[in-house]
Structure 1
């Protein structure tokens, strides 16, 4: 039996106040499982929301946070080939990744090819998989369809810009300043609109000949979320994937007023209905796009050890930083 450093919270609240560094005993992997020594884990907003209690109804306490990351297989359970040992994998959909050792299902572990750098592999799940599924399955965007995305300068906003070039749809990225404009245009956005200075509604209507966009992705909620719906054509779709403002939207009222269809997307729901083959194949598509240099990620802004988690969270949440992800490493 091994000891492992892990990050844990026993109550919901401010991550810097409730996160604790502890040691715990690790049972050997069971049949069909892998034991993975973690290398790197990005800190995402989706990692911090559960800590604050956003999903308190389904998060048991105490809990270990972390949805993604990359590591190396160090031990396998019975019925699992020893050829896994020493291979890099993404140990997803099981235990929280903010710990030294993570157990995961061998059939769901995603093998990482040699050409993929650790920092890319570690952040290939939450944002890229979500953006790909929304673009190709949920919205089934066709060439020349117009997609609106708020929080355009976010990590997932940058992914949508690149998918626009890959898939051929037109992306209109909404931002709150001009900091990301040039980068987003270079990545593949058709238009970048600074909502603090430009008449968003009239610009969108002009470029769509008065029809409105085919669809929109809302990561913010509040007034910005409802404003987004007013620029989507009747019968079009708004998909809500986040609540960065902390302010919910009365989507039923928005639907009545605009005639748009509103969908709430949770990656875990897609995970539950996707076959193992579909799960693995989707990652292979994303990895191939990286290999072809059609999908790129910012290099990490900073690396912190697990026991520096509070400092790492503070840096990750710093506002106004045009930087890559903050990573928790060994």
Structure 2
């Protein structure tokens, strides 16, 4: 089978190769999945560069997310069937043609969803949903402030704001995306290069600041979000796109009793029970199925063209996901 691999950490377009390796076979309680679609996420690229929170032994196959069809079942498997579209959870790299996972970790996908939206149903929708509803418990009518608002997670936050009746203040780097985000339902959009973010947020909130903020950038952008928190506010840091330190004035924490905390999807899944995982996917599939959540797809590349695909995925103006297919 074909597999994308890397034997050393480095720039993805430099270290990734496509190799032919033996296909795995399912053992008792396992299923063999023919992976069909795999999105390229920032977390995948951080792993390849050796900059992620958990790194594999090398050589390794990257890829946290994807969807495919069950083509083989091991002894004792009775609740999964050949031909079933599933999301293989916990596989050791999905940028290859076949993976083996325990049957319980092959999440069945409802037929109307399709393999493209199924392949992107895990990392970004789950991140947005869990941060907003389980960790922050955002209340209707409240403001949620976020940077990187034109990212896929950012768009999901906007979409969920429409569904759950909270308001969003969306910080972006490029003014060209302002009208698009407003058309999606963004309540307010601030371009960092044109406006003072902190002043605008305080004007929008009557000087109170916001109760909730989501930082996926770090650096100066994240610091501006932190400075926009009101009394008792909380900011979740779930990304570090800028690759820069987040500097926060201690008075903000001291006098406002604000909270800054990290949030990582991996930690949630490590502690979640199988029933919690299934409940999460039931919710996400429902939101995708009724159109509340939708991941834009901008390009598809065959596995053989992975180097070109990762270059496309890192274009700053890219408005959606790049997929690896085949």
Q: What TM-score range do you get, normalising by the shorter chain?
A: over 0.9
How far apart, in 1, do the equivalents of 2:260 and 2:309 lie? 35
* Corresponding position of 1:220: 217
- Is the 2:24–2:98 contact (alpha carbons within 8 Å) kept by the matching residues of 1? no
Contact 2:144 2:167 in 1 (8 A): yes
| CA RMSD, Structure 1 to Structure 2 (Å) | 1.7
Q: Distance in 2 between matches of 1:62 and 1:255?
A: 43
Secondary structure of the 2:112 match is coil
Partner of 1:289: 287
Secondary structure of the structure 2 residue equivalent to 1:72: strand
Of stretches 144-153 and 78-87 in structure 1, the one that deviates more from structure 2 is: 78-87
Give a deviation string over 1:19-76, Cα, whole Å, max 9, x none: 1111111331122211100111111111100100113764321111001111000011
CA contact (8 A) 2:67 2:118 kept: yes
Paired with 1:252 and 1:90, the residues of 2 have a C-alpha distance of 43
1:272 aligned residue (270, 273, 285): 270
Is the contact made by 2:77 and 2:103 (CA closer than 8 Å) also made in structure 1?
Answer: yes
Q: Distance in 2 between matches of 1:42 and 1:90?
A: 12
SS of the residue 1:94 aligns to: coil
* Cα distance in 2, alignment partners of residues 261 and 138 from structure 1: 12
Say which SS state the counterpart of residue 278 (structure 2) adopts. helix
Per-residue CA deviation, residues 94-148 of structure 1 (Å, 9 max, x unaligned), is 2211000011121121111110122111101110000000000010000012111
Distance 1:61 1:256, change over 3 A: farther
- 1:74 counterpart residue number: 71
| Structure 1 runs not aligned, ≥5 long | none
Aligned pair partner of 2:8 in 7, 11, 33? 11
2:233 to 229, 232, 236: 236
Q: Does 1:178 align with 2:175?
A: yes
Q: How does 1:97-176 map to 2 (within 5 A)?
A: 97-176=94-173
Q: Which moved more, 1:92-101 or 1:242-251?
A: 242-251
Match of 2:321 in 1: 325
Tell me what 1:45 maps to.
Answer: 42
Q: Does the 8 Å contact 2:226/2:248 carry over to 1?
A: no
User: 2:104 is paired with a residue of what secondary structure?
Assistant: coil
Does residue 1:35 correspond to 2:32, yes or no? yes
Which of 305, 311, 314 is the equivalent residue of 2:311?
314
8 A Cα contact 1:130 1:267, kept in partner: yes
Question: Do the aligned residues in 2 keep the contact of 1:251 with 1:262 (CA within 8 Å)?
Answer: no
1:28–1:251 distance in 2 versus 1, CA, 3 Å: farther
- Which ranges of structure 2 fall in alignment gaps of 5 or more residues? none
Structure 1 pair 183–8 and aligned structure 2 pair: CA distance change class (3 A): same
Number of equivalences: 325
Q: After superposition, what is the alpha-carbon deviation per residue over 1:291-320, rounded to whole angstroms, capped at 9, x for unaligned?
A: 22222221x222111111101111111222
Aligned to 2:187: 190
- Match of 2:111, SS? coil
Following superposition, the deviation at residue 223 of structure 1 comes to: 1.1
Deviation at 1:259, TM superposition (A): 3.6
> Match for residue 300 of structure 2?
303
Deviation of 1:262 (Å): 1.2
- Superposition map of 1:50-69 within 5 A: 50-55=47-52, 58-69=55-66
